[in-house]
Amino acid sequence: MTNSGTHTNSTKLILWMPSVFIFAALGPYLGNYGLKVEHIIIYGSAFIYLVMLFPRFHCHPWVDFSSTMHLWLGLGICQLIGFVWSSSLARAAAPTGRLLAAVEHQVQPLVVVGLLCAWAGTLSSEQLRISLRRALNVLVWGLCLNSLLIVWFMRTGSVGLFLPWLPPSGADVDSVWTLSVQMGRFGGIFNQPFEAGLGYSLALLGWCRIQGDLRQAMSWEYGRLVLLLFGGLVSVSKVFIFGGILLCLIFVSICKHYRKYILNLKSCVVLIGIILVASCFQELWSGFSYFMRLFTPESGMDLIDLYTSNRFGGNPTQVTDYFAEVWKVSPFFGFGFAPYEVQDNGFLWAFASGGILGLGIFVLMLYRTLSWARKLIRNNSEQMFPFMTLLLMVLAGIGAPSFTINRASTIFWTLYPLATLVGLSQYPREAAVVKPSITAYQGARALSITSSQSCKSH
């Protein structure tokens, strides 16, 4: 396989694979057992790739992301220990379906990042950039379509429109999706407001990244921006309102070439238009009053309780009660995979499933990954986009296990490594801070190309 201007068929396929992963993450469920399109695509791709390379597979999995993924693997091992340990406790085991889902959520990032690193080793810098741009466009167009479907749902109330995208029993009267709709919080294909807010936040960051490549935003791009802002706002997700939008403004303000093409008269017109529409939307949107209470809280209201949705506050909450239970019953090993049906905090998830050791590994993973991402920014502004997506996921961990949440986690684990590799492929060789990473990346790339050429010769 060559990296010349003429793409081979296999290279063309690889260029589209991250886009396929994003598309699959937005896909429906298959049957009544929790199986999704993304499961078929991701694990099917991994199986085919391993079969094609075996026994010539010499590439180290995860390459530049080895530190992060080894710690993620260590967290999974802690959860396994906690699962075995909890069998000796007088505690009801998690249902099989929930248990399998928790294991799959832990395994999927290892597979996705491994595949992306292996594929990236066969592509040039420009091809990596093309692949990232395609994946971002698939995400933005997909969520724009979801916003249009939400508008249709608000007008007609047709629940059947979203049934294929809801998990088994997802449309029941006591499901998260149904209760959210009754509150006027619309997520469309997303099962819960947090999930929708995180997905739209990643898409909004992706939209900004696309404008930097275009150098001159087309008028219709602002139409996509309106749909993304609409979809994120009607979910009334604080992740989007106080996380995604704020990080996008910081992202655009820090990067000079993004600031030039995004913060302009057209953007101001779009924002003013959204404000005017929102002011007239009160009669059409049943969740408008719920949205406005975030900005006009009642006198004497506990603001911590309000802005964390009762996760923290003056009184004991579900999160603090769960922390206390784990600390009392199994502080060192936790309860293993799927310790609770609802886990409204990412750090609670790590502690409850892996105990003190699991929480320590999770915090160490976040620290080392953020530190590495900050070092990369100093050498190349291209790394600002993956850094912002990583920072978004860390901050979102206050509200839920963001790194394993449905749909949005797959989007992150696809975009973050791919965008980081785009920046790494453009570093000068003498950049000391990333020299070890570049050496590993180039070595894996050479091995992959050699393996491919060897397959051709036979």
Tens digits of residue pLDDT in 125-162:
999 999 999 999 999 999 999 999 998 998 888 888 89
Give the per-residue pLDDT at 275: 66
Tens digits of residue pLDDT in 68-127:
999 999 999 999 999 999 888 877 778 888 899 999 999 999 999 999 998 888 888 999
In a domain, 4, yes or no: no
Structural domain for 417, as ranges: 9-457
Residues 6+ apart with CB under 8 A from 80: 336, 337
CA distance 95 to 133: 40
Give the per-residue pLDDT at 24: 96
Answer positive or negative: Cα dihedral of 115, 118, 122, 127.
positive
Q: Is 124 left (phi over 0), alpha (psi -120 to 50) or beta?
A: beta
**Mean of pLDDT values over 314-327:** 87
In a domain, 15, yes or no: yes
pTM score, whole prediction: 0.88
Strand partners, 35: 30
Tens digits of residue pLDDT in 219-264:
778 889 889 999 999 999 999 999 999 999 899 888 777 776 676 6
What is the chain's Cα-based Rg? 22
Of 384, 402, 418, whose CA–CA distance to 21 is shortest?
Answer: 418
Tens digits of residue pLDDT in 193-226:
999 999 999 999 999 899 877 766 667 788 898 8
For the chain, how are helix, strand and coil distributed in percent, rounded to 5?
A: 70, 0, 30
Q: How many domains are contained in the chain?
A: 1
Percent pLDDT > 90 in the chain is: 49
DSSP 247-312: HHHHHHHHSHHHHHHHSSHHHHHHHHHHHHHHHT-TTT-TTHHHHHTTTSPPTT--HHHHHTTTSS
* pLDDT-wise least confident of 275-279, 334-338, 405-409, 417-421: 275-279
In a domain, 2, yes or no: no
> Does 434 or 88 have the greater pLDDT score?
88
Residue 2 pLDDT > 80: no
Greatest mean pLDDT range, 303-317, 369-383, 436-450:
369-383
Give the per-residue pLDDT at 108: 96
Give the per-residue pLDDT at 316: 81
* Residue 422 contacts residue 128 (beta carbons within 8 Å): yes
